[in-house]
Amino acid sequence: MLALLRHLPVLALLALATPATAFEMPSAWLSSHFRDNPLVGSLWSGDGRRVDAATLTAALDGADYVLLGEIHSNPDHHAIQARIVEAMVAAGERPAVVFEMISADEIPALDAFLAKPGATAEGFGAAVKWTERGWPDFAIYRPIVATALAHRLPIHAGNLGLETTRRISREGVAALPAPDVARLGLDLPMPEGGEASLTTELKESHCGLLPDKAIAPMLTVQRARDGALADALVEASSRGQAVLIAGAGHVRTDYAVPALLRTRAPGAAIVSIGMMEVADGKTGLADYGMSRDTPAPYDFVLFTPRADIADPCAGMAEAMKAMAPAK
């Protein structure tokens, strides 16, 4: 029955699936800002309909690919990701877990760590050079890794290696052999409006500080990373479900990993969940650009408190000044 369900549309799955164990929201929040916002803890379909945790669980039960989009620095997002993986295991699945935060460079170290008898989350971050490569403290990701290891779930690297990323940034698609261009989906046009949306996202995420000449290389790198994540998911799903742990931008249904999966695995059931932090005084969906007329680029949206209220643009401006060549 489950094999048949995986090839039905998500809405049909919601009607048919009756999982025994539902995902549950955390009873307490780790992030401290704006916990009293009425959107905190609420779950919505992408088109702006409020849904419950059982609806999400039903969708998970029929999915080939579950994409969990996060704000990297928010510990609640990682606690929720761990809960979702736990709910999938409780429903009888053994999903492989693909991490954006682990690159191809760390595959030998990852394999060696996982081969250790009784491997636990202790020492995992150090083994794959988690913090050294600029990710937030491994401690906030520990619940996901601990859950995967406790249930002996496969763990996979999802990201491009550093040198490959640098070559793509310098040389574009020409940096890659033709088979890799195809594997990463870089030979395909982006969906309509995708390039404009990604360009806007890159500019906004860098606080409008990027010079115009930097946009095209960054766009190509971002597309290549999406392609690498999609490729890792396809490979990891050879024995069942696969879960992606990645930034919310990578799990957008309009142009990112889900769009590539639809090409690589036609007919696969894909569920994308975007986790959003609430903002001060913004208490309605429209404040976050969501409505039935302007759907979110996710199948589900889940709101949490905000982890940090510092202005990221202030720090970014200082960092870019420090990197600028001396005149």
pTM over 0.85, yes/no:
yes
Q: What is the pLDDT of residues 32-89, one digit of tens each?
A: 999 999 999 999 999 999 999 999 999 999 899 999 999 999 999 999 999 999 999 9
| pLDDT tier, 119 (very low <50, low <70, confident <90, very high otherwise) | very high
Mean pLDDT over 266-283 rounds to 97
Radius of gyration of the chain (CA): 19
Please report the pLDDT score of residue 22 as a whole number.
81
- Exposed e or buried b per residue across 295-312, where buried means at least 16 C-beta atoms within 10 angstroms of its C-beta: bbbbbbbbbbbbbeeeee
| pLDDT tier, 122 (very low <50, low <70, confident <90, very high otherwise) | very high
Output 291 or 35, whichever has higher pLDDT: 35
Mean of the per-residue pLDDT values for the chain? 90
Under CATH, to which class is 43-307 assigned?
alpha beta
Look up residue 218 and give its amino acid. Answer: M
Mean pLDDT over 124-137 rounds to 96
